[in-house]
Structure 1
Amino acid sequence: MRFFFILAILCGTLQLPAEEPGQQEYRLGLNLFEGLNGSVQDREAAFPFFKQAAARGNADAQYRLGHCYEFGFGTPKEPAKAREAYEQAAKQGHTEALFRLGNCHYVGLGTPQDYARALECFRKAAEQGNADALMSVGFCYENGTGVEKNPKLAFEYYSKAANAGLSLGQYYLGRCYYHGKGTTKDYAKAVELFRKSIQSESRLCRGLGYFSLGLCCLTGKGVEKNREEAFRCFRNAADSYHNEARLLIGVMYLRGIGTQADPAEAFRQLSLVRRSPAADYLVGMCYFQGTGTAKNAKLAFQSFRKAADGGSADAMNMLALCYRKGIGTSPNPDKSEFWKKHAARSGRKFSLVHLTE
C-alpha cells in the first residue's frame, strides 16, 4: 500500500495541500521579527521577507508590513505605505489589518481623517470578534464620531469587548456603570471593572483604571471611603503617566489628605504635571507663598500667566493682584483691571471640594 502511495506522489496523481503564496517568506520574517524558533531577533532583517511575502499577496505579511511602516520597525516610518499595506490585507478579510486600517482613518494616518470610514472598518473587524475593534465601535457610539451618539449601543459594544477579556474595554464599561451611560448607575459594578482593568499589561489602561478606582475610594462610591487607599491608587496612576492623578497627588501632599503633608513633595509633583492650568496655578501659589520652595515673585507671576492663558479664573485674579501691586512684574492698573474683569466672566475655577468631603 505504501508503494502505491509513493508512486502516486511521483506520478502527480495525489494532490497535496498547496501552501499559501508567500507563506515561507512570511514565516522567515516572523521568526526574525519575534526571535522565534532559534532565530535572533532582528526586525531590520525581517522587513525584506515581509515585503516579499506581501508582494505575493500574503495577507499576514501585508499586515506585518503595515505594522513595520507604521511604527518604524526595520524601516523608516511611512504612514501612507502603512495604510496601503493594511488596506491590501483588509481586502482579504484580515481582522487585525481591518482594525489598524480603521485606526488610520480615525487619526488621519497616511490618509485624510474620516470617522465614517474608520467606523466601517471597526465594524467589519468587530464582526470577526476583534476585541479592540469592539471597543472602538463602542467609543464611536459614545462620542458620536462617524455616527450619531448612542449610549446604549456604546454600552453593548464595551460589554462585548470586556467579555472578550480586553482590559481597556473593562475600563470603559466601568465608566458606563459609574456615570450611568447606556445603563443604570452601579458604582459597585464600576469598581469591580476598574479593579480588573488595573491588571492590564497596558500602562495606559492601568493609569486610567487606578485613577478611576482612586476617585471611588476618595468619594466612597461603590467602595468604603478610604483616603489612604485613594492616595495609593493615584500614586500608581501617576506612575503610569496619568496627568490628572499627579495633580491630585500634589494637592493631597499639599493638604495632608491620605498621606503626611509634604509641601516640598507637593511642589515637585505639581511641577511635573503637564498642560494643566490648575497645576500651573498651584505652582504659582507655591512660589507666591514660599510653600515647598523659595518665594519667587517673578516665577509666581509667570505661572499665573500660563494658568490664566489656559482659562484658570483663580490665576486671572492673581494676575490682577500682581499687576496692581507690581508683584513679579511692573505695576499696570489697566492690565490689572483687564484680568479682574476676565476672571469675573470666566467660570473655570479649580475646585478642591471633592478632596475635602
Structure 2
Amino acid sequence: MKPETVLGIKYREEPTAKLQEWLKEYAAIAAEFPGAEDLAQRLSKRAEKAGELITERNRPEPPSSSHDDMYYIEMAKIMDDMEASFDGDFPLGNEADASFAGCYFSVLELAEIQCGLHHLIVAGRFNGYNFDVLVRKGFLAELYEDWSEAVRCYEGVSTSKSVQEREDECRRKMAIEGKRCYEKALAFMESGEWNEVFAPLNRAADMGNPDAMVDLALARVYGQYGCAKDLQEALTLLRAAAKKDNARACFALCHLHDSGVYEVQAAEAKEMCEKAAGLGDEKAKARLADGFDLRPIREILQEQIDKGNIDALWQMAQLCKKENDETGAAGWFNKAIEAGQVDALLSVAAVYLDKNGGFYNKELARQYLRRATDGGSVQAIIALADSELADTDIPFWQQAAQLRNLEYSEKQPKRKIREQHKKQMAWYRLAAEAGDTDAMNALGMAYHLGYPETRDDREAFLWASRAADAGDGSAMYQTAHLYENGFGTDRDIDAALLLYTEAAEQGVRSAMIRLYEIYTEGLLHIQPDGKKAAHYLWLSGERRD
C-alpha cells in the first residue's frame, strides 16, 4: 500500500498535519477501548512510518544520482518493500479497500474501521440524491460480510466505475460464499445431521445460490430442517431462483400449482414447466404432455367447491379479498365457517379474542376454537389453552420459572390462578401429543420445576427429549440439563455435552454459557479446554467490550 494511501493524502502533499490527525484518533480509541489498544498502537507506528517515507520521498534527489540507473533500480526496490510493509490483516489493510473507503469516511471513522469498531459508524439516511450514503452503507455491509446487502446498496449508484467494481467483487464473493455454504449444508444432509442444515442453507440462499434457494424454499413449504412454514417466502425464493434459470425452481413452482397452491396460477405453472423442460428437466417434459387448466382461478375453485372441497371455500374468500370484492369475500368466508374450515374458524375466533376490536366475546371465540380443534388444528388447541387464563397474562411455564428462586412461603400464587394454569397446561399436553414442540418445551419446564402440577422429572425428560429429537434448540438445552444432573433419567455427561453443543450451534445462549463453564472448570471426565471455553464465551456475547 502506498504511504499516501495510509494517510489519505495526495502525492507530494506534506504529511505532518494529516499524520497528527490520525495519531490523535488512534490515541482516543486506545484510551476508550482497551481491547483495541494494541492494534491502535500498531497502526500509530504504521502511520508514523508512512509519514517518514513520504517526507523522505519529497526531499530533492541527490545531484550525483540523477544519471545513475542503479540508484533508481535500488530505490524502486526499497520503496516497493516499504509499501508492502503497510499491508495488514486488519480492515482497510489493503490498497483497494483503503483507497475506496478513504473517499467516503472521515479519519475518525476510518480509524474505527481499522480497529474493528465499525459498529459505531452511522451510514446516514439516503434522500434520493446523496449517493455517498448508499456507498457508505454498502461498504459497512462488506465489513460484516453481508455481500448481498452491499450489492443492493452499490446497485443504486450506477454512475461510478469504482462502485461498479466493488459491486462486481461483492457478487464474486457472494458466489464463492454461497457455494461453500451450500456444500456444507449438503454434507450435513448426507450425514443425516438434519439439525445442522438450516444455518448454512439459509446463508447460501442469502448469497444467491439458486440450488440453496430452492432447498430453503421447499423447507419453508414443508417445515423441514427446523424451518417454520412460510409459503410466501417459499414462492419468493423459487421465483428468484427461476429467474436465474434454475430448472428445479421452475418445476417446483409447477408442482406447487399441481398440489393446489392457488397462488401459483396455471399460466405461471405452464410457463415455468416449459422453461424447466427447455433447461433439460425430464419431469417437466413429461408434465407438459398432461397440459394445464388455464381457466380463471375462480372457475377452478368453484369446481373444487362443487366437489365438496371446504379448503376451496377459504381460498375463494381470500381471492375475493385480494380482488377487493368485499361482498364475495364475506359470503365465501361465512360458507367456510359453516363447513368447519379450520383457517376460517381460527380467523373469526381471533376477532372475538381481540379486546381492542369491539367484538370481544371469549365464549364465542372458544366455540369456534373447539370446532377448529375438532378439525385437527394445534393452533386452536394453544389458543384454547391461553384462553383459560382470566386473572393473569403469565402462562404456566413462565410462572414456574419465576417461582424457581423464591422462598417456599412465596411460591404459592392464588389458588384460582394455579387452577387456571392447570387447565392451560392440560391443553398444552394435547398440543404436545399432536407434535407441537413449543408445547413440549413448556411441559418439560413445568414438570421439572413443579408448577402448576407436582414435580415429575420423568415427565419433564419425556417431553423435553421429544422436542429435542424434533430439532428444537431450547429443548436440547433442557434435555442436556436433565442428563447432566440425572433428573428423570440416568446421568449421562456425554449425552449432555452433545446436546449442549447442538443447542449452542442453534444459537441458544444458555447452552453457550454452560459449555463455557464446563470447559473452564471441567466436569467428571471432561477435561478443561481453554480454547473451547473462550470460543463459547465469545459466542455468548458475555464480557465483550
Q: Partners of 2:352 and 2:457 in 1: how far apart?
A: 36
C-alpha displacement at 1:246, in angstroms? 2.0
Q: How does 1:143-222 map to 2 (within 5 A)?
A: 159-160=333-334, 161-175=336-350, 177-178=352-353, 186=360, 188=362, 189-200=364-375, 203=376, 205=377, 207-218=378-389, 220=391
Q: Partners of 1:300 and 1:169 in 2: how far apart?
A: 44
Give the direction of change, closer, same or farther, for the CA distance of 1:164–1:250 in structure 2 (3 Å limit).
same
What is the DSSP-based 3-state SS (H/G/I as helix, E as strand, rest coil) of the residue aligned with 2:370?
A: helix
The residue that corresponds to 1:322 in the other structure is 518
Q: Contact (CA 8 Å) 1:213, 1:233: kept in 2 or not?
A: yes
Q: Contact (CA 8 Å) 2:429, 2:443: kept in 1 or not?
A: yes
The residue that corresponds to 2:458 in the other structure is 264
Give the direction of change, closer, same or farther, for the CA distance of 1:304–1:167 in structure 2 (3 Å limit).
same
C-alpha displacement at 1:280, in angstroms? 0.6
C-alpha displacement at 1:186, in angstroms? 3.4
Instruction: State the Cα deviation string for residues 13-58 of structure 1 (Å, max 9, x = none).
Output: xxxxxxxxxxxxxxxxxxxxxxxxxxxxxxxxxxxxxxxxxxxxxx
Q: How does 1:54-73 map to 2 (within 5 A)?
A: none
Instruction: State the Cα deviation string for residues 204-259 of structure 1 (Å, max 9, x = none).
Output: x1x3222221122257579x851221122112222222222222222221122232
Give the direction of change, closer, same or farther, for the CA distance of 1:286–1:208 in structure 2 (3 Å limit).
same
Match of 1:135 among 311, 314, 334: 314
Give the direction of change, closer, same or farther, for the CA distance of 1:139–1:344 in structure 2 (3 Å limit).
farther
Letter matched to residue 531 of structure 2: D
Q: Percent identity?
A: 19
The residue that corresponds to 2:429 in the other structure is 235
Unaligned runs of 5+ in 1: 1-79, 88-98, 114-119, 346-357
Q: Contact (CA 8 Å) 2:301, 2:316: kept in 1 or not?
A: no
C-alpha displacement at 1:123, in angstroms? 9.1
Q: Contact (CA 8 Å) 2:500, 2:515: kept in 1 or not?
A: yes
Q: Partners of 2:439 and 2:539 in 1: how far apart?
A: 29
Q: Partners of 2:474 and 2:390 in 1: how far apart?
A: 20
The residue that corresponds to 2:536 in the other structure is 339
Letter matched to residue 508 of structure 2: S
Q: Partners of 1:194 and 1:251 in 2: how far apart?
A: 26
Quote the RMSD (CA, aligned, Å): 4.8
Q: Contact (CA 8 Å) 1:301, 1:329: kept in 2 or not?
A: no
Q: Contact (CA 8 Å) 2:346, 2:369: kept in 1 or not?
A: yes
C-alpha displacement at 1:193, in angstroms? 2.5
The residue that corresponds to 2:445 in the other structure is 251
Q: Partners of 1:179 and 1:341 in 2: how far apart?
A: 43
Q: Partners of 2:458 and 2:320 in 1: how far apart?
A: 44
C-alpha displacement at 1:336, in angstroms? 1.5
Is 2:493 the counterpart of 1:303?
Answer: no
Q: How does 1:45-56 map to 2 (within 5 A)?
A: none
TM-score in terms of structure 1 length: 0.52
Is 2:464 the counterpart of 1:285?
Answer: no
C-alpha displacement at 1:292, in angstroms? 1.3
Give the direction of change, closer, same or farther, for the CA distance of 1:137–1:301 in structure 2 (3 Å limit).
farther
Q: Contact (CA 8 Å) 2:519, 2:530: kept in 1 or not?
A: yes
Larger radius of gyration: 2
C-alpha displacement at 1:279, in angstroms? 0.7
The residue that corresponds to 2:131 in the other structure is none
Letter matched to residue 339 of structure 1: Y
Unaligned runs of 5+ in 2: 1-250, 274-295, 394-415
TM-score in terms of structure 2 length: 0.36
Q: Contact (CA 8 Å) 1:267, 1:283: kept in 2 or not?
A: yes
Identify which range, 156-165 or 230-239, moves more after superposition.
156-165
C-alpha displacement at 1:320, in angstroms? 1.2
Give the direction of change, closer, same or farther, for the CA distance of 1:112–1:157 in structure 2 (3 Å limit).
farther
Q: Partners of 1:221 and 1:157 in 2: how far apart?
A: 37
C-alpha displacement at 1:272, in angstroms? 0.9
Q: How does 1:96-107 map to 2 (within 5 A)?
A: 100=260, 102=262
Letter matched to residue 309 of structure 1: E
What is the DSSP-based 3-state SS (H/G/I as helix, E as strand, rest coil) of the residue aligned with 1:100?
A: coil
Q: Partners of 1:131 and 1:172 in 2: how far apart?
A: 15
C-alpha displacement at 1:137, in angstroms? 6.7
